[in-house]
């Protein structure tokens, strides 16, 4: 690329300290991994600052600077972490080259309003950095679990073969164990029985409750709403304890008076308990959908002679359906991933997948747990993606976003 345009250059008192801080942050992670965090900060800041100064004052060629930066960080990454370190080094090298020129040429202001003050620009990007750091903090444990599920050994750590990216270090045997082991399959089938039924109950009751509480003439609707979403707020162990005593009495009555089998009653108790946990999610999502609902549509349907049931299914339901499905997906995830309540309310016959994982962690450390965790993560991602697509569709239907 041609030499930099002098007009766009930013003062070195801004560029070099900012670039040095980013290099120090990277050095903190590398140094901590090698038992010397402070030394990592110093070395990382020094290397990045030196490279930035060379690029700006001497080289003045962005394309060449990019390849120099990548090669330097690849070499450093290989020294400290082998092939995986070299790959991460290539990414880091590209980023620091880009970041240096992004700061020096003032590209960070290209898509911002020209009248923003330096403080406002700093907050604009600082806020995004904070959000990104929180996202990394939340997602890193999941990213660690997923590759460990392909470990060819029965360990919960990365083996030398995995770190060297050798084929011998990876295997699908833990996934095979999940799909062939009777204990895992029985718990998986229980989850597939309990979660859908609990979801249907949650969606039915939660939708009706949300529609009723959305009416302005309902007395004490705020207090009722607070009570109905309380299972989301109260600590789960307290809810589980209360459900244990409540459903025990119901179970004894169903077995003694109605003569139902103990196994069937156990499923009923767990399903009802999970439905209670899922109803608040349905109420919240459907209520949020009803905020933008045009009440004149239901009045127009009534004027045309439609009864309330017809009005609900033909007019109201199609418009709030994305919110209903979103609430149902949240309720399904809650039931499918729940372990505390089922430990209190259920028995061994109703052992769900999370319960089996909990038992496996307590009694035998098997990497099959990691394979199951990865499967659950993939299912959750698919469901949350569906929720987001439905949310956008709901906004389009209500005219809150362009089509």
Which domains are present in the chain?
6-111 (no CATH), 181-397 (1.10.3720.10)
Mean pLDDT value across residues 134-157: 83
41-54 tens-digit pLDDT: 888 889 888 988 88
Question: pLDDT value at position 80?
Answer: 78
Q: Which residues contact 160 (CB under 8 A, 6 or more apart)?
A: 169
pTM summary value? 0.72
- For residue 315, is pLDDT > 50? yes
**Helices of type H across 105-220:** 118-148, 160-163, 173-180, 182-213
Average pLDDT over the chain reads 84
Mean pLDDT value across residues 358-373: 80
Mean pLDDT value across residues 259-288: 90
Mean pLDDT value across residues 325-342: 89
Q: How confident is the model at residue 203 (pLDDT cuts 50, 70, 90)?
A: very high
Burial class (CB in 10 A: 0-12, 13-18, 19+), 324: buried
CA 364 to chain centre: 28
- For residue 1, is pLDDT > 50? no
Residues facing 170 on adjacent strands: 151
Question: pLDDT value at position 398?
Answer: 58
183-202 tens-digit pLDDT: 889 999 999 999 999 999 99
87-135 tens-digit pLDDT: 888 999 999 989 988 888 888 888 888 888 888 888 888 899 899 889 8
Q: Cα dist. 84→36, 89, 91, 169 in Å?
A: 20, 8, 11, 14
Question: pLDDT value at position 177?
Answer: 87
Question: pLDDT value at position 3?
Answer: 43
Q: How confident is the model at residue 223 (pLDDT cuts 50, 70, 90)?
A: confident
Rounded to whole angstroms, how far apart are CA atoms 300 and 278?
33
- For residue 341, is pLDDT > 70? yes
Q: Which residues contact 241 (CB under 8 A, 6 or more apart)?
A: 344
Q: How confident is the model at residue 377 (pLDDT cuts 50, 70, 90)?
A: confident
Query: Cβ distance 379 to 206 under 8 Å?
Result: no
Residues facing 151 on adjacent strands: 170
Question: pLDDT value at position 5?
Answer: 41
Query: Cβ distance 28 to 44 under 8 Å?
Result: yes
Least Cα distance to 1 among 85, 60, 89 occurs for 60
Least Cα distance to 363 among 240, 236, 183, 189 occurs for 183
Query: Which tokens belong to 117?
Result: 């003050």
3-state helix, strand, coil in the chain (%, to 5): 80, 0, 20
In percent, the amount of the chain with pLDDT more than 70 equals 94
Rounded to whole angstroms, how far apart are CA atoms 316 and 156?
51
Helix (H) and strand (E) counts in the chain: 17, 0
Query: Which tokens belong to 193?
Result: 């029985």
- For residue 138, is pLDDT > 50? yes
């Amino acid at each position: 690329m041609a030499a930099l345009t002098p007009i766009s250059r930013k003062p070195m008192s801004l560029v070099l300290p900012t670039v040095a801080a980013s290099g120090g942050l990277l050095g903190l992670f590398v140094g901590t991994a090698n038992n010397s965090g402070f030394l990592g900060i110093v070395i990382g800041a020094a290397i990045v600052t030196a490279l930035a100064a060379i690029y700006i004052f001497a080289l003045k060629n962005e394309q060449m600077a990019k390849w120099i930066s990548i090669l330097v960080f690849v070499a450093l990454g290989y020294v400290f972490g082998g092939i995986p370190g070299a790959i991460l080094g290539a990414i880091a090298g590209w980023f620091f080259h880009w970041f240096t020129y992004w700061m020096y040429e003032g590209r960070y202001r290209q898509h911002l309003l020209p009248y923003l003050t330096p403080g406002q620009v700093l907050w604009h990007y600082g806020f995004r950095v904070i959000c990104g750091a929180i996202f990394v903090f939340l997602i890193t444990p999941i990213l660690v679990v997923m590759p460990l599920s392909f470990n060819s050994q029965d360990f919960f750590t990365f083996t030398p073969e995995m770190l060297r990216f050798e084929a011998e270090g990876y295997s699908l045997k833990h996934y095979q164990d999940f799909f062939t082991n009777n204990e895992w399959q029985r718990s998986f089938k229980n989850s597939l029985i309990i979660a859908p039924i609990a979801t249907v109950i949650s969606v039915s009751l939660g939708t009706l409750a949300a529609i009723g509480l959305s009416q302005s003439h309902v007395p004490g609707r705020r207090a009722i709403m607070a009570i109905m979403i309380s299972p989301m707020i109260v600590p789960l162990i307290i809810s589980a304890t209360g459900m244990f005593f409540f459903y025990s009495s119901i179970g004894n009555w169903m077995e003694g008076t109605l003569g139902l089998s103990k196994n069937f009653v156990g499923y009923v108790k767990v399903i009802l308990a999970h439905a209670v946990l899922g109803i608040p999610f349905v109420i919240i999502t459907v209520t949020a959908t009803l905020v933008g609902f045009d009440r004149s549509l239901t009045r127009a349907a009534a004027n045309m002679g439609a009864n309330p049931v017809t009005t609900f299914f033909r007019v109201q339901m199609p418009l709030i359906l994305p919110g209903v499905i979103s609430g149902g997906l949240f309720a399904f995830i809650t039931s499918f991933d729940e372990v505390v309540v089922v430990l209190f309310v259920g028995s061994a016959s109703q052992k769900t997948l999370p319960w089996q994982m909990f038992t496996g962690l307590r009694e035998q450390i098997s990497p099959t747990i990691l394979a199951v965790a990865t499967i659950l993560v993939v299912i959750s991602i698919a469901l949350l993606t569906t929720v987001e697509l439905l949310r956008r569709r709901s906004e389009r239907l209500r005219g809150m976003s362009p089509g």
